[in-house]
Structure 1
Amino acid sequence: MSFAEQLHRLQAFLDADELHDEALDYVAAHGYLTALSICAETVPDREWIDALFAEPPHYADEAQHQEIEATLIQLKAHIARQLASDEEFELPCDLDLGDDPDDSELRGWCIGFMEGVFLRESAWFENDEEEVSEMLLPIMVGSGLFDEQPEFADIAADANLMDDMIVQIPEALTDLYLLLQAPDEKPAILKPRHH
């Protein structure tokens, strides 16, 4: 079975209504795996898989159980390779929150990403808290999880500013990856940014 077919089956499994309410759907799982691939500390597969599902899903049989978990692990590796390449990172959804942000796939992706960050929050912020926070900002804004905080509410209220931030997500991911996974290349990242 090709990787594309495996992904298709994974997507159908994660997007099914039978999963626990707090389980991540495919797009959110992609965001979550992206965060795990960027994090400097490796989270054991068992731990992140269990957290992704919130509670053990009902698999049809052991073969499906193995296949779904294996595909998740492969997808994580695939995402890591994408991050390490020189190409712009592609999200599995449009870089647009649409008319109803809460229903948008991008919001789901960003929430999934933040779930991945929360699994090892200290590992993200221990060395370059300010810089990491700045790079995470477009994703934090997209997630809507922080809208109760005044500075986020201000951004959320400005549609143009929101759009400007959202389109920065792919670049932010590359920057985060370099910062957390390739610290030797630091000086290149610290060059001033032109806003």
Structure 2
Amino acid sequence: MSFAEQLARLQVFLDADDLHEEALDYIAAHGYLTALCICPEPVPEREWIDALFAEPPHYSDDTEREAIEATLVQLKAHIARQLASDEDMDLPCEPTLGDEPDESELRGWCIGFMEGVFMREEIWFEDAEEEVSELLLPIMVGSGLFDDQPEFSDIAADAELVGEMAGQIPELLTTLYLICHAPEEKPALLKPRRH
């Protein structure tokens, strides 16, 4: 089965109505996995898979469970490769909130991303708090999770600004990834002199 076919099967599984109401659908799961790839500290596989579903799904058998979990792991690796390349991230939805933000796929993606951040929130801001906060702002705005906070409700009221921020998300992901994963410059080791 090709990766595209595996993804199609994963999408059908995650978008089914019989999953727990707090489980992430395919678009939100993509955002969630993207955040996990950017997170400076790896989150154990079992932990993030269990959190994604909120409670164990009703798989038809172990083969289905293994296939779904393996595809999630492959999708995460695929996203990590995209982030590590110099190209802007390919989102599984348009980077726009449209006229009905609550109905937009991007909102779901941003909510999923923030779920990934919340798993290790303190680690995200450990090294470059200001830069990371600034880069996360468009995703936080896109998620709608913070709209009850005054500084966010002011931004949310400005449709043009929100639209601009949404459009920046694919490119800022690469920058976030680099901030969280760029090796710190180490002093060059002194080479032993040859006699």
Q: Which TM-score applies when normalising by structure 1?
A: 0.93
Post-superposition offset of 1:184: 3.1
How far apart, CA to CA, are the structure 1 residues paired with 2:115 and 2:72? 16
The residue that corresponds to 2:28 in the other structure is 28
Following superposition, the deviation at residue 87 of structure 1 comes to 1.0
Cα distance in 2 for residues equivalent to 1:112 and 1:100 = 18
Q: Using the alignment, how far apart are the partners of 2:35 and 2:84 within structure 1? A: 13
Which residue in 2 is equivalent to 1:121?
Answer: 121
Matches of 2:112 and 2:80 in 1, distance apart? 16
Counterparts of 1:133-148 in structure 2, within 5 Å, are: 133-148=133-148
1:177 matched residue in structure 2: 177
Q: Distance in 2 between matches of 1:136 and 1:163?
A: 15
Q: Deviations over 1:21-49 (max 9, x none)?
A: 00000000000000000001000000000
Q: Please report how far the alpha carbon of residue 86 of structure 1 lies from its aligned counterpart in structure 2 after TM superposition.
A: 1.1
In structure 1, the residue matched to 2:99 is 99
- Secondary structure of 1:132's counterpart equals helix
SS at match of 1:160: helix
For 1:88 and 1:127, the matched residues in 2 are separated by: 23
Residues 127-136 or 9-18, more deviating: 127-136
Cα deviation for residue 172 of structure 1 reads: 1.3
Aligned match of 1:44: 44
Equivalenced residues, count = 185
What's the counterpart of residue 80 of structure 1? 80
| Counterpart Cα distance in 2 of 1:28 and 1:90 | 14
* CA root-mean-square deviation: 0.9
**What's 1:162 paired with?**
162
Deviation at 1:69, TM superposition (A): 0.2
Tell me, in whole angstroms, the C-alpha distance in 2 between the residues paired with 1:173 and 1:184.
19
**Runs of 4+ off more than 3 Å:** none
Return 5+ residue gaps in structure 1 as ranges.
Answer: 186-195
Q: Does the residue aligned with 2:106 lie in a helix, a strand or coil?
A: helix
Alpha-carbon shift at residue 20 of structure 1 (Å): 0.4
Q: What is the identity, as a one-letter code, of the residue corresponding to 2:35?
A: A
CA distance in structure 1 between the partners assigned to 2:169 and 2:147 by the alignment:
18
Displacement, 1:127? Answer: 1.2
2:29 touches 2:52 (CA, 8 Å); kept in 1?
A: yes
The gaps in structure 2 that reach 5 residues or longer are 186-195
Shift of 1:99: 1.8
> Partners of 1:50 and 1:88 in 2: how far apart?
29
C-alpha distance in structure 2 between counterparts of 1:134 and 1:96, whole Å: 19
Q: Report the CA distance between 1:100 and its aligned residue.
A: 1.3
1:13 alignment partner in structure 2: 13
Give the drift of 1:183.
Answer: 4.0
Structure 2 Cα separation of the partners of residues 59 and 37 of structure 1: 26
Instruction: Provide the C-alpha distance between the structure 2 equivalents of 1:53 and 1:125, rounded to a whole number of angstroms.
Output: 26
